[in-house]
Structure 1
């Protein structure tokens, strides 16, 4: 049985997103679920 993947909450859209293989080395620094959210980071963070 597989372990559940870790998840985080996007700082912009507040949605849950799960760990991806491409983020393996940098998971600690991942804050946004997508490029779109990352581009809007200055507009929505309170």
Structure 2
């Protein structure tokens, strides 16, 4: 299957990580659950209890 993405990442949605605030850019793997994506990494997901982020 050919990938037609031409590299215009500025057009993709983005939001901050709930723990560290790093900007996360939309990924195809998150297409079905983008609204539920809260953390940029497994490390931030593990630290969520220490920062009071919503589960």
TM-score by length of 2: 0.72
Superposed CA RMSD in Å reads 1.9
Structure whose alpha-carbon radius of gyration is higher: 2
TM-score by length of 1: 0.84
Q: Which runs of 5+ in 1 are unaligned?
A: none
Larger RCO (alpha carbons 8 Å, 6+ apart): 1
Q: Which runs of 5+ in 2 are unaligned?
A: 1-5
Aligned length: 46
